Amino acid sequence: MLLSHYARESNVGAIRGGRTVLIPGAFAYHRPADLAEAVALLGRFDSDARLIAGGHSLIPMMKLRLALPGHLIDLAGIAELKGARLEGSEIVIGAMTTQHEIIGDDLLAQRVPILRETAELIADPQVRYVGTIGGNVANGDPGNDMPALMMALSATYVLRGAGGERRVAARGYYRSTYETAAEPDEVLAAIRIPAPPRGHGWAYEKLKRKVGDYATAAAAAILTVSGGRIATCAIGLTNVAGTPLLAADAAAAVVGTALDKPALARAAGAATAIAQPAADGRGSAEYRAKMAGVMTARALARAFARARS
Amino acid sequence: MSLTDVGMTVNGKAMSAAVEPRTLLIHYLRENLGLTGAHIGCDTSHCGACTVDIDGRSVKSCTMFAVQAEGENVLTIEGMAGADGKLHVLQEAFREMHGLQCGYCTPGMIMRAHRLLHENPNPTESEIRIGISGNLCRCTGYQNIVSAIQYAAAKMAGLEVKEAAE
């Protein structure tokens, strides 16, 4: 949902007779039956078309008329975009899988449990019934929670366009706010996650003002432990910059350690150092950057406690 | 923009109306179908006063176009009472436990509680509070809403219910 960035400006909208009325602009509605048709429609209508997944980022934008597509391409009718499965050593999740479905999925609970913990912290029950993981990762909104996870998990995004299929690493996908590596005619169709090893440690730690809010700061930690020491570690940060961040230095600071206090402090400091958050109702930039460090430390501690050597 | 017929099942009846693609489901229900129980309480998809139940999902009808719900089964507050007018147990619960003051959030609360109790027939107080976190109330401070949902859960489970203190 974009609304975190604009909610206080809710007088932006169509003005009728002096009152604000939140009615989207007019558009033609398309509901393709398969991915090829969706790609063809995107190509045909180009920048005048927007894809709609769950619509819980896009429709609020359209109601404020910050998005005015002449054509809406609804992905809801495309069966191949749903569901999660194991393919060899990779978990493959269809982009139209809702947060609710992710929370209830047994395969994901067993193999990538950080997904459920994160999904449960997104918005509220109604939004989770409709909002999709594809919508959460695809559009480059820095407030969304899943991108930081995908970076920490070394996930790749499967993009389908007129030229066929290509895969882009999540770590290379986010260029700047709302700017991604996806071409205008591409649909993010699926997410591929290398299954973390059994016994890995994981945690998503999200600081927010109230239930349902975007993160003041949040950190995703994925690690493995061997002989009581951290063997591998990856950390992703949410909403403390114009894009999700991979906190490589913070992760390196704890590898080889038993996560003693100095290591945790170094990791927190490294996370704070790369954070460049906006100052807003959630706090000053300095505060939010500091909280990026605090969330990193908390996520690491919980992940470490969960890990089995 | 040209109108298109959008049909769906609402409270068990096949309904249809000619609307624009940009017509939000909340407006389709309220203005085209005359079902004004679902309310518009915010501009920002936060408040949940517009919550309805669509094919087993709680949905904020202000954040969905009517065309997206074409062919689906929609349940609104108007569909909760029996054909003879007998209140649904949740409606009785909100009355018994004083789970409303102005009533503006109430249809959304009841529709969400309905789905919540299907997800989890025996929720703890904490699970109820998290379960209704997509529904805001400005009047009650939520305590009696929680009590109403507990009352309904107990009654549906065939347990004895505690009436509200006077």
Residues of chain B with pLDDT under 70: 1, 164-166
Pairing of strands A71-74, A49-52: parallel
Which residues of chain B lie closer than 8 angstroms to A212, CB-CB? 46, 133-134
Between CA A291 and CA A36 the distance in angstroms is 44
Could you identify the residue written with the tokens 């406690």? A305
| Structure confidence by residue, pLDDT tens digits, A107-149 | 999 999 999 999 999 999 999 999 999 999 999 999 999 999 9
Residue of chain A nearest B108, judged by CA positions? A126
Tokens of A226: 């061997």
Closest chain A residue to the Cα of B134, Cα to Cα: A124
Of A3, A72, A130, the CB nearest to B44: A3
CB contact under 8 A, A127 and B134: yes
Name the interface residues of B facing A (CB cutoff 8 Å). Answer: 1, 4, 20-22, 24, 43-46, 48, 51, 57-60, 63-65, 67-68, 112, 115-116, 130-134
Calculate how close chain B gets to A100, using CA atoms only, in Å.
9
pLDDT value, residue B43: 86
> For the residues A144-164, what does the mean pLDDT come to?
98
Q: How many helices (H) and strands (E) are present in chain B, helices listed first?
A: 5, 5
Task: Write out pLDDT tens, residues A56-79.
Answer: 999 999 999 999 999 999 999 999
Do A203 and A233 form a contact (C-beta atoms < 8 A)? no
Q: Please name the member of B21, B43, B115 whose beta carbon is closest to the beta carbon of A22.
A: B43
List of residues 6+ apart from A72 with CB closer than 8 A? A27, A28, A29, A30, A49, A50, A52, B21, B65
Within chain A, all domains assigned CATH 3.30.465.10 are found at: 81-194
**Nearest to A186, CA basis, from A207, A212, A168:** A168
Yes or no, beta carbons of B1 and A27 under 8 Å apart = yes
Q: How many helices (H) and strands (E) does chain A have?
A: 12, 16
Length of chain B in terms of residues written? 166
Chain B residues touching A24 at Cβ < 8 A: 22, 24
| Confidence tier at A22 by pLDDT (50, 70, 90) | confident
Q: Which helix (H) or strand (E) holds A14?
A: strand A14-16
Residues A16, A276: Cα–Cα separation, whole Å: 39
pLDDT at A6 over 80: no
From the candidate CATH numbers 1.10.10.10, 3.40.50.720, 3.40.190.10, 3.30.465.10, the one assigned to the domain spanning A81-194:
3.30.465.10
Residue with tokens 């016994």: A199
Task: Give chain A's length.
Answer: 309
Residue A20 is predicted with a pLDDT of: 61
ipTM above 0.85, yes or no: yes
CATH level 3 topology of A201-306: Enolase-like; domain 1 (3.30.390)
Range(s) for CATH 3.30.390.50 in chain A?
201-306
pLDDT at A245: 98
Q: Do B58 and A74 touch (CB under 8 A)?
A: no
Record: contact B63-A212, CB cut-off 8 A: no
Residue A2 pLDDT? 46
Q: How many CB atoms lie within 10 A of CB B70?
A: 15
Model confidence at A15: pLDDT above 50: no
DSSP conformation letters of A217-274? EEEEEEEEEETTEEEEEEEEEESSSSS-EE-HHHHHTTTTS---HHHHHHHHHHHHHH
For residue B130, give Cα distances in angstroms to A164, B40, B75, B166: 43, 22, 22, 28
The CA distance from B157 to the nearest CA of chain A, in Å, is 23
Residue (of B24, B31, B30, B39) closest to B136 by Cα position: B39
Cα nearest neighbour of A69 on chain B: B22
Domains and CATH numbers, chain B: 4-79 (3.10.20.30), 89-156 (1.10.150.120)
Q: Which H helix or E strand runs over A102?
A: helix A99-103
Judging contacts by C-beta atoms under 8 Å, the chain A residues touching residue B48 are: 124, 126
Give tens-digit pLDDT for A222-267: 999 999 999 999 999 999 999 999 999 999 999 999 999 999 999 9
Query: What is the DSSP code string of B105-118?
Result: SHHHHHHHHHHHHH
Q: What is the pLDDT of residues A259-308, one digit of tens each?
A: 999 999 999 999 999 999 999 999 999 999 999 999 999 999 999 999 98
Give the side-chain half-sphere CA count within 13 A for A71: 16
What is the average pLDDT across A1-14? 43
On the question of pLDDT at A3 being above 50, the answer is no
Contact, A81 vs A75, CB < 8 A?
Answer: yes
Nearest CA in chain A to B48: A126
List the one residue out of B108, B13, B133, B92 whose CA is nearest residue B53: B108
